[in-house]
Amino acid sequence: MDRELLEMTASELVAPGKGILAADESNGTMSNRLAAVGVEPSSEARRSYRANLFATAGYESAVGGVILFDETMRQSMDDGTPIPDALTARGVHPGIKVDTGAKNLAHHPDEKITEGLDGLRERCSEYFQMGARFTKWRAVIKIGDGMPSAACVSTNAHALARYAAICQEQGLVPIIEPEVLMEGSHDAQGCYDVTAEILDATFAACKEQGVHIPGALLKPNMIIAGNDCPIQISREEVAMMTIDCLSKHVPRDLPGVVFLSGGQSDEDATAHLNLMNQIEAEHPWQLSYSYGRALQSHALKTWAERS
């Protein structure tokens, strides 16, 4: 494990004023989004859209890294430059989603376990050679009747820690993403409690696996009531509760927290992060974004209209 390389990469990804663009939609998801804006889905259409996105003038001033899908990692810009090389030339770190998706957790209806540990070491070695410098693995935690179960929390925490350890071994900064879903009728306190539980379990597992925390990043949800909850807290309360939860359940030597938008509107996701950075609460990490839809939705529509 090259600790110096990991720490340098992690710090550059969350340098002041910079965040991470999540452009790692699966082929199926990206095809659906293309179809929704009137573009015939294909590998070339996905390449063309993303190449246009990564050719945007000046985006490197606000983006420290881009998470790619495997297909995109192997594609090229319009001029033939491999996409990872084009990103690196702009001072942007290429990243790669390495999990293989959330699958049903045996004997636990409606709960998921993220898979992808088999062959991960070999995949990470290849991705590093292709230019990747960080990775992402997403666990999904659902709140509901009797959920999350202890089994769901423990198995996902263990998988996140094993993933992080393997990636660091190969020189890649792991983004640890335990997402508590907005789906449900739970209130904000319910979200807070479950987020605290999964964070505690995940970082305990990381300690057991020897994960170097200063060479990793966290991609958590914000503390928000479920979509079906009749009582939605204010933006200011979202910011305060999120900072409070992280302050009590995230190691202080973690270099940065990059929030997922989690289905929030573009405006809410941006406003919540802005408020968190204005709060005069003492915390040691950089707070930034790792947004996908919240950054790309308008760009996709504009590209489709001009194409």
Residues labelled as active-site residues: 219
Helix (H) or strand (E) holding 136: strand 134-141
Ramachandran class of 55: left when φ > 0, alpha when ψ lies in -120 to 50, beta otherwise: alpha
Beta bridge partners of 298: none
Token pair recorded at residue 186: 């739970």
Which 3 state secondary structure label does DSSP give 258? strand
Give one DSSP letter per residue of 49-102, joined into a string.
HHHHHHT-TTGGGTEEEEEE-HHHHT-B-TTS-BHHHHHHHTT-EEEEE----E
Which among 195, 239, 236 is positioned nearest to 219, based on CA atoms?
Answer: 195
Which among 94, 149, 150, 156 is positioned nearest to 127, based on CA atoms?
Answer: 94
Q: Distance of CA 201 to CAs 155, 175, 205, 208, Å? A: 10, 16, 6, 11
Q: Report the chain's C-alpha Rg in angstroms.
A: 19
